[in-house]
Structure 1
């Protein structure tokens, strides 16, 4: 079915809505905890200096979503979690970008702030939390989303008979369906690679976005309506897309570790 036929009749604002919480808490913690296994001593020391040796990288990974409850203070950060780009546009070229920022500019800005000794510890902590979170976000294909359906937020579906939307399915529903803790998911995903020899781990953020832009097409497959008003997704959809979700979580972890190792590399 053509995905445009599934879009609810909602006002289009040219960007995703603020309910775009990629991967959910379990997914973000999984990315951060798996990345932690691949940190160098220099990176671990640098991170400990910012967050304290008794705190963990995955504990701050969900903070950028948690602060959305205080919209008055943090509303300006909402557009940083995604980038809107239509199918005919070139992620490597010029395309309309939000004046309020997007995930590509957010990753770049936060990577510079993390190791800036002129900033306060609080500012660096926030930058690290945003960076860890954004690396996870950009690997969720619908966070590099079409404007027309706001990254799948306007595509109404049923998930095992319960009303939802396509974006939420990819943020959390598929992962939650596995019924694993994030620690168990880390064990299932870890391939025990040599990070510096893993070519995909060394890709740059623009390539992460380009991958998600291509892979998002799979999100719209198998959305044919059944007897109800909306596509009823369940076991078949979860099975069909499970490996892609695992691949994106795994790559996000390796790439996060590689980038943090680079940021904190000794001069």
Structure 2
């Protein structure tokens, strides 16, 4: 009861700016990943991040550790025009009420799944300057987390559930909506519910949870958004738009927690895999030279 009261008070007074996919959750995903990468990968990640602050020059947004890197791309969105071009890279609006269609949602490459693949290529490209590699590493750490947040992976034309006002059980607040519930209180509950996700996973677990392509992960996030984020909250994921704020009942929350927990563990182990691949010297390349651009 005391824990619930503390949670309720924290939710009531939490600032709206904290509702990007929770800083706590992004840090947790980075921590899981660094516990499950190859030792040489962990050393390279930490070394690159230690050298990142003077390269990226964002004293307002720290970036020297994996945990700081995991939240940096959300922090810099508050720096005005400098990073405004990255806004659409944090999500993809794949319609949960139609057949899965990633190509239409990401036709211009300005979506989270396309940016994950782009950051890996930038890290592997031997000709990319150190500053761009550092930024690519930071974006990769963050975007793998974003892709696995269900409302970032699919919605029903409501800005990932931001337009669906909701209460979290008995907790109500002006800033609460379906998206913010999944990004913050539900995600934090999933991470803190035993057993701890902060461990070295077995090869069998890494193979089961970390496998698949970025498109496969996109489909899973879309399914989780449809079935858990919307389906459990609304009853009918594709029914009429709610006319009043939705109450996410304690019974629904109990069913949502395992779905969210699974996505967080998947994100951590898949990020570990992506870091191992991106920083594998054998996969570094020099791009073929293209004819010079003539303009016109």
Normalising by structure 1, we get a TM-score of 0.80
In structure 2, list runs of 5 or more residues that go unmatched: 1-16, 53-63, 236-242, 283-296
Q: Tell me: CA distance 1:238–1:189, structure 2 relative to 1, closer, same or farther (3 Å).
A: farther
Instruction: List per-residue Cα deviations over 1:193-244 (Å, max 9, x = no partner).
Output: 227861331211111100011111221234369xx94122353333221111
Q: Which residue of 1 aligns with 2:155?
A: 146
Check whether the contact 1:22–1:143 (CA below 8 A) recurs between aligned residues.
no
Q: Which residue of 2 aligns with 1:34?
A: 32
Q: Tell me: CA distance 1:185–1:135, structure 2 relative to 1, closer, same or farther (3 Å).
A: farther
Check whether the contact 2:94–2:153 (CA below 8 A) recurs between aligned residues.
yes
Q: How does 1:58-77 map to 2 (within 5 A)?
A: 58-77=67-86
Q: Distance in 2 between matches of 1:186 and 1:132?
A: 24
Q: Which residue of 2 aligns with 1:9?
A: none
Q: Distance in 2 between matches of 1:265 and 1:224?
A: 44
Count matched residues: 243
In structure 1, list runs of 5 or more residues that go unmatched: 1-18
**Is 2:181 the counterpart of 1:169?**
yes
**Greater helix percent: which structure?**
2
Q: Which residue of 1 aligns with 2:44?
A: 46
**Is 2:254 the counterpart of 1:239?**
yes
Check whether the contact 2:166–2:245 (CA below 8 A) recurs between aligned residues.
yes
Higher RCO, 1 or 2 (CA under 8 Å, sep at least 6)? Answer: 1
Q: How does 1:1-267 map to 2 (within 5 A)?
A: 23-52=21-50, 55-86=64-95, 87-91=97-101, 94-97=103-106, 99=108, 101-159=110-168, 160-163=171-174, 164-177=176-189, 180=192, 187-188=196-197, 190=199, 192-194=201-203, 198-217=207-226, 218-223=228-233, 229-233=244-248, 235-267=250-282
Instruction: List per-residue Cα deviations over 1:142-176 (Å, max 9, x = no partner).
Output: 11122521211111112312231101111112134
Structure number with larger C-alpha Rg:
2
Q: CA RMSD in A?
A: 3.0
Tell me, what secondary structure is at the counterpart of 2:196? helix
